[in-house]
Amino acid sequence: MTPEGQVTTVSTTHEEFTLATRSGIPASNLSELIDAHLHMPFAFQSNRHATEAGAGVDAWLRSFGLTDDVGVAAMIAFTRPAELASYNSPTTELDLLQIVANQIAYQFVFDDRAEELGRQSPDRLLPMLCESIAILRDDAPPTTALGAALADLHRQVRERCTPAQAARWAWKSREYVHGLLYEAVAQAQPLPPRMGLSTAIRSLTAGVEPFYPLAEAAQPCELSPEELHHPVVQRLSRLSADAAVWIPDLFSAVKEQRAGGMINLALAHQRAHGCSLPAAVTLAIRQINGTIREFERLYAEIEPELSPAGIGYVEGMTGWIRGCYYWSRGVPRYADAALTPALV
């Protein structure tokens, strides 16, 4: 029996196995399997400004012509960026929520475009990545529609955040841009990356940590340098970003497998253990559960030492863990998880 009282037999070979829900009834699909075994201590929340943020995202993308492409428009409809923003930032006021939603939408468009070019050849990515770095680092003028959207997003952040918060946002955003090149290089190799390399690249392509300066901006004051750079707070940032992106990896594994994707936690476990996808998803869940439990333990230890702003900042991290789970469960982009059998 697992700690949650679930009957679970998992094979890391090609043998059959059984995975049961909390009631002891076998999970019929991957979504049920994830819901049954994922440790999610954070309750569902949603921002009251979600509808306004959604309308704002649509208008913002249109203003740069990004949704003139029917494929991009369909992708946005399937990913619902304002819904994700609403779930991960439930108490944020509309002005800041709109920036979060716009950035999520931008990253979805940018990431899909990078994936499309990178699978042709990593060097095809260089123009768009170099343009992004120049905008974020040097405030260079954009030369493409995507670049214009990024430049405007950068403007929004600088107007809403303190200079130090905006600088941290730009730094973390540059890390995300670099990560997409690493992913393209890994995808182009004849052999898939090993587990450690795959998760290292995934931590960069997650694009979660650029949102943490926005969580800080939602507080009544900046965090002190001592609080912001405290080793435990830094560790909480890493743990939460990993958990937040690994959870969607569970739901997107079917989609990524069909598309030939490699940088996905569940698929990395499948390659490492030579097992079925449901077994790999279960192994990935165990890794995520350990990450979330470490986050809970460290947060409980340091919370008495944190200022109200520091607590709000870390709560912003928990928002991403919670939000990515509840968003992934219902977003059309990952509907295949509910259609894929959990028993092999």
Domain count for the chain, please give it. 1
pLDDT of residue 340: 82
In a domain, 47, yes or no: no
Q: How many residues make up the chain in this entry? A: 344
In a domain, 344, yes or no: no
State which amino acid sits at residue 182. Answer: Y
pLDDT digits (tens, 9 = 90+) for 129-152: 999 999 999 999 999 999 999 999
In a domain, 88, yes or no: yes
Q: What is the average pLDDT score of the chain? A: 91
State which amino acid sits at residue 112. Answer: D
Residue 317 and residue 311: Cα distance in Å, rounded? 10
In a domain, 307, yes or no: yes
Model confidence at 343, pLDDT cuts 50, 70, 90, reads: low
When pLDDT is averaged across residues 312-337 and rounded to a whole number, the result is 95
Q: Is pLDDT at 106 greater than 60 in this prediction?
A: yes
Vertex 325: Cα angle to 5 and 335 (nearest 5): 100
Model confidence at 4, pLDDT cuts 50, 70, 90, reads: very low
Q: Is the separation of the CB atoms in 17 and 11 below 8 Å?
A: yes
What percent of the chain has pLDDT above 90?
83
pLDDT of residue 13: 39
Residue 68 and residue 330: Cα distance in Å, rounded? 26
pLDDT digits (tens, 9 = 90+) for 258-313: 888 889 999 999 999 999 999 999 999 999 999 999 999 999 999 999 999 999 99
When pLDDT is averaged across residues 151-161 and rounded to a whole number, the result is 98
pTM of the model: 0.91
In a domain, 304, yes or no: yes
Residue 339 and residue 223: Cα distance in Å, rounded? 45
Burial of 191 (0-12, 13-18, 19+ CB in 10 A): exposed
pLDDT of residue 144: 97
Q: Is pLDDT at 53 greater than 60 in this prediction?
A: yes
Q: What's the CATH code of the domain at 21?
A: 1.10.600.10
Q: Identify which has the larger pLDDT, 251 or 13.
A: 251
Q: Is pLDDT at 22 greater than 60 in this prediction?
A: no
In a domain, 3, yes or no: no
Q: Is the separation of the CB atoms in 319 and 295 below 8 Å?
A: no
pLDDT digits (tens, 9 = 90+) for 65-91: 999 999 999 999 999 999 999 999 999
Residue 151 and residue 222: Cα distance in Å, rounded? 24
Which residues are CB-neighbours of 320 under 8 A, at least 6 positions away? 88, 208, 211, 240, 241, 244
Q: Which range of residues forms the domain containing residue 244?
A: 8-42+53-338
Helix (H) / strand (E) containing 18: strand 18-19
In a domain, 108, yes or no: yes
Residue 276 and residue 10: Cα distance in Å, rounded? 10
In a domain, 343, yes or no: no
